[in-house]
Chain A
Amino acid sequence: MPIEDLSEEGLPKVPNLELAQLKFLITLQPNNKSLKEKLLNEIKANNMTPFYLECVKDGELSSDEKLVQTMHKANEDKLKELDGKIEDNEKAFGDSEIRESYLAKSQYLCLIGDREQALTWIRKTADKSVALGHRLDLIFYQLRLGLFYMDQDLIARNLDKAKTLVDEGGDWDRRNRMKVYQGLRAMSIRDFKAAAELFLDTVATFTSYELMDYQTFVTYTVICCLLSLERPKLREKVIRGSEILEILHGLPLIKEYLFSLYECRYADFFRCLATIEQDLLVKDRYLAVHASYYVREMRIIAYNQLLQSYSSLTLKGMAQSFGCSENFLDKELSRFIASGRLNCKIDKVRGIIETTRPDSKNFLYQEVIKKGDLLLNRVQKLSRVINI
């Protein structure tokens, strides 16, 4: 992906997901004036009455009757104009023109953040649309609306629809676009593995600027990949991936984060992880809820990566390489060992960590018993009909 901006070629940024992110940030920092101002300016510029009312309801912005009135009036005018156009077209022109005017109206409704109306009008437009590409575009609209409001149900439904449509024969551009949407959704429901695969597939052909810019996309890709890819694959796809590397030059934090883990500089890695958690994860709409999970998993990965190479090592040494105190490490390790995430044991008296080999046979046995019991449970439930 060349660095030059191709965002002009993408779909229009409607609804603008940046605003949703802005709104989310304000909930985190309710006293940040500049953020509020920014949001308000955006709202004013586009006369987003419904979205504004929503922000007021959620307490992000203070209510201003006058502003509401002026914006509302602007909305009314614009909608009237659009309605007039629809009427004209319905009378005089063919289906494609009618569709255009419908689309214009739904687009406008999306823009001002009127969710219910927008959805109904998109549905109406979809009824008029015949071409596969057009219908897919409308589904992308709905997906964006879903992402805007984090309505997982809407997203899931439309993704299913999009999948069937693409299978019927969507073009490459839309196919790739869908992958990004899918990946974003996978990431927002903590399915980082799927997200990583989907993102990696589209790194070279990313065009979905309506969702996020390329930098953000690469950031997400790296974050997901680090969690879910094995080292060899990570090297092949990310460390050696020229498209990603190109962008990483502009993102020193992410670059350091990626390479510190890969090059086993654990202390640096922990520092990066902490920064990323504070500056990125917690502040991201999609990742905020998964932040603690993500950081925990990443720590486990780091611990495992270190322990893999040793049969035993001192607690002190390990604490040093991670740049943390022995006590902290002790607490962390004992927790993860007890829950079976790390294969080692601590000899607290001598201050040594001894690694143990994972026992796959026993693990399989446990799994057979566990899953078998689930099955038996269901069989027993079925057998209730049996009445001797």
Chain B
Amino acid sequence: MVELSDIEMKEADPSSGLQTAGTTTTTSKDDKKDADTLTLDDIKEQVRTIEKAVNSKEPRFILRVLRGLASTRKRLNEDVIRRLILFYYGSNSSEREILLGFAQSVSQPMDVDMEKTVSSPAPATNEKQSVSRPQTSRARAASLPEVDLYIHLIVLLFLIDRNSLKSALDCAKRLVDKTSVLNRRTLDLLSAKCYFYYARIFELNNMLDSIRPFLHSRLRTATLRNDFEGTAVLINLLLRNYLHYNLYSQAQKLVLKSVFPDHASNNEWARYLYYLGRIRAMQLEYTKAHQHLLTATRKAPQQTAIGFRQNAHKFLITVELLLGDIPDKATFKNPQLKRSLDPYYQLTLAVRAGDLSRFKEVLDTFSERFQQEKTWSLIIRLRHNVIKAGIKMISLSYARISFSDVAQKLQLDSPEDAEYIVAKAIRDGVIEASIDHEQGYVQSREITDVYTTREPMNAFHQRIEFCLKVHNESVKAMRYPPKKYNEDLETAQKVYILWCQQQVTLLMIMLLTTPTLLSAKRHDRRLFFSNHKTTTVATTPDEPSYGNMFSNWLSGFLSKDPNNNDKHSSSLGKLALLKSFLSSSSSSTGNDSKLDKIFEFLSASANDGQNKASSSTSKLNGLLQFFGGQGSTSNNLQLAVKLMNIAQGKGGLSSLNSSDLKALSGFVSG
């Protein structure tokens, strides 16, 4: 996403610059004030979240704050920064001065007048605030190194956005100095972000090579401390650093010597795979490169990070072409990618047609662009592929063809040339054919039936493996929240993950067995019930046999009609079901009369449910009598109430848990 920040900044820079320059001087000052206050409040809220994270030692919260960084960044301006610094560093004067100095260094070159207008109201409001609010919580907050770093980081982002690279450099140096002194686990995520922007600024200043030793030393520390996010970011930064100077072998060594942490975030993984793909492509390992780049594009964020996706796709397309495949046309049609991929589209068309002259034309037109995008060295390898594609097409269409015809079709100079090239293509396994040198023709072999080879098995295996991996990952990612914690969000996530899991499992089954609709449906149903079971049985883990029996029975009748669930329309129907269950579960047959009595009574109460108000208590007592006169225990009372409810159509069968059923069947069987 380093490329992303390239893009992002280009968008953000002029607009935010204009915004501050324009709006501070014009009439819409009030609106801006509100927006600023809102931004400030948001940042304060984020700081509180950081505090919470530090106190509860839950890095998840910090992750959430950092996720919001992009949107915060877009809303920053001088005023916000100034108020922010004054607010949190009220007591710490030295720190305050330094940060304010940074902030001021931005506004000075822009407009001196504007600075005055901004600076005059700001301290005034601030003083008021500092008087009215208790000093303590704020001071404590600022004393947390995490908060300090976060504010510093915001200032740094602001500097980058304002393009004042010089002071950004100083600021970044200070920031990284701060991180290196501290050794706190809660800092890991924040410092990773700091490294990232540190390297970014050096890149903007064109001094990337100078920070390599620093990155290496930090990487060592991060690895030792098991700081996975930091390790991931640092490895990526180093790789980017090497690739920037085309040091592919060094980058390769780094990849070999270091282990990329499994737990790193998706974005870091996407970056890592992208760099890895580029290295592999350079080293002629196209299959691997293709795999890496494909995963990178899949793992990258789908809505944002357009720049990253564009770049990844450029390499992906090039590698795909090198592999002899033709990329999907839909990729080029994607509105976000369409423009930047246009040269590659032209390239693909040329390769697909196996047209050398056209290929050359494309190379000539776009050579500069390809060089700039660093795909040039890969693309010039494609010339061979164009010929290959041509040969492939010839071997597909012709059973036998003379070399002079081949030469003519591929626009080669002589039949001998054609013979050599065809010979090489056969040796490389591009086409299946044999050459008759005497007669001067090439005979292509019949295409073998792919389905009789092991290839389908391998292909399926590869895909099943992928499904299993996703499935396992989603199982691992399940997390149950503490009770009070923001339940909606978490349940939504849980349901989503569960759903993903189901999808994947379903897919797996479909791949494993013949893809008949029937099996899929049956499986779907089973999944549905296994979920259902967990909810009902979970209440009584100590009575497994009853729980199982109950849930089996429930799922049994549900499977007859899954849509109905247990919302049977008539209460009588429910009772009948319950009765059938009880009669089947109670082994002795002599107690049928008791069973019948209970249900007679229940259905009677269901029938005159209309005038229930009059005699509900008496009915309850009547019911309790059935239960062997032990009406005093609260369990029995509850059970009786539940049964009444069901009978009167108020409650569902699922309100009964298995202990109730056990009690019930106990009564019935005496």
A348 touching B402, Cβ below 8 Å: yes
Interface size on B, residues (CB 8 A): 46
Scan A328-347; emit 1 where CB is below 8 A from any B CB, else 0. Answer: 00000111011000000111
A383 touching B473, Cβ below 8 Å: yes
The residue that A383 contacts in the complex, of B263, B401, B450, B474, with Cβ under 8 A, is B474
Docked complex Cα distance between A368 and B451 (Å): 12
The smallest beta-carbon distance between A123 and chain B, in angstroms, is: 30
The smallest beta-carbon distance between A102 and chain B, in angstroms, is: 40
Residues of chain A within 8 A (CB-CB) of B298 are 377, 380-381, 384
Q: Which of A82-90, A159-167, A177-185, A357-365 lies on the face that meets chain B?
A: A357-365
The residue that A354 contacts in the complex, of B399, B451, B463, with Cβ under 8 A, is B399
Given contacts A349-B402, A361-B451, contact A383 B393 (CB under 8 A): no
A334 touching B400, Cβ below 8 Å: no
Interface residues on A, range: 20 to 34
The residue that B302 contacts in the complex, of A337, A345, A349, A381, with Cβ under 8 A, is A381
A386 touching B397, Cβ below 8 Å: no
Residues of chain A within 8 A (CB-CB) of B474 are 383, 386
Q: Does A45 contact B (CB under 8 A)?
A: no
A388 touching B262, Cβ below 8 Å: yes
Q: Does B556 contact A (CB under 8 A)?
A: no
The smallest beta-carbon distance between B335 and chain A, in angstroms, is: 17
Given contacts A349-B401, A377-B298, A388-B476, contact A334 B394 (CB under 8 A): yes
Residues of chain A within 8 A (CB-CB) of B301 are 384
B396 touching A348, Cβ below 8 Å: no
Docked complex Cα distance between A372 and B460 (Å): 10
A346 touching B399, Cβ below 8 Å: yes
Residues of chain A within 8 A (CB-CB) of B467 are 376, 379
Q: Does B500 contact A (CB under 8 A)?
A: yes
The residue that A386 contacts in the complex, of B444, B450, B477, with Cβ under 8 A, is B477
A379 touching B504, Cβ below 8 Å: yes
Q: Does A3 contact B (CB under 8 A)?
A: no
Q: Does A350 contact B (CB under 8 A)?
A: yes
Q: Does A369 contact B (CB under 8 A)?
A: yes
A379 touching B470, Cβ below 8 Å: yes
Docked complex Cα distance between A195 and B306 (Å): 39
Q: Does B439 contact A (CB under 8 A)?
A: yes
Residues of chain A within 8 A (CB-CB) of B476 are 388
In chain A, what residue has the closest Cβ to B390?
A338
The smallest beta-carbon distance between A66 and chain B, in angstroms, is: 46
Chain A at the B interface: SS class: helix
In chain A, what residue has the closest Cβ to B60?
A387
Docked complex Cα distance between A345 and B401 (Å): 11
Scan B44-61; emit 1 where CB is below 8 A from any A CB, else 0. Answer: 000000000000000000
The smallest beta-carbon distance between B435 and chain A, in angstroms, is: 12
Docked complex Cα distance between A379 and B399 (Å): 41
In chain A, what residue has the closest Cβ to B298?
A380
B399 touching A385, Cβ below 8 Å: no
Q: Does A131 contact B (CB under 8 A)?
A: no
The smallest beta-carbon distance between A179 and chain B, in angstroms, is: 31
In chain B, what residue has the closest Cβ to A335?
B397
Q: Does B97 contact A (CB under 8 A)?
A: no
Scan B401-417; emit 1 where CB is below 8 A from any A CB, else 0. Answer: 11001000100000000
Docked complex Cα distance between A113 and B589 (Å): 88
The smallest beta-carbon distance between A278 and chain B, in angstroms, is: 26
Given contacts A381-B302, A388-B473, contact A362 B450 (CB under 8 A): yes
Q: Does A189 contact B (CB under 8 A)?
A: no
The smallest beta-carbon distance between A60 and chain B, in angstroms, is: 31
The smallest beta-carbon distance between A151 and chain B, in angstroms, is: 21
Q: Does B266 contact A (CB under 8 A)?
A: yes
A375 touching B507, Cβ below 8 Å: yes
Q: Does B11 contact A (CB under 8 A)?
A: no
In chain A, what residue has the closest Cβ to B497?
A386
Docked complex Cα distance between A361 and B405 (Å): 33
Docked complex Cα distance between A373 and B266 (Å): 21
A387 touching B266, Cβ below 8 Å: yes
**Chain A contact residues, CB within 8 Å of chain B:** 333-335, 337-338, 345-350, 354, 359, 361-362, 365, 368-369, 372-373, 375-377, 379-388
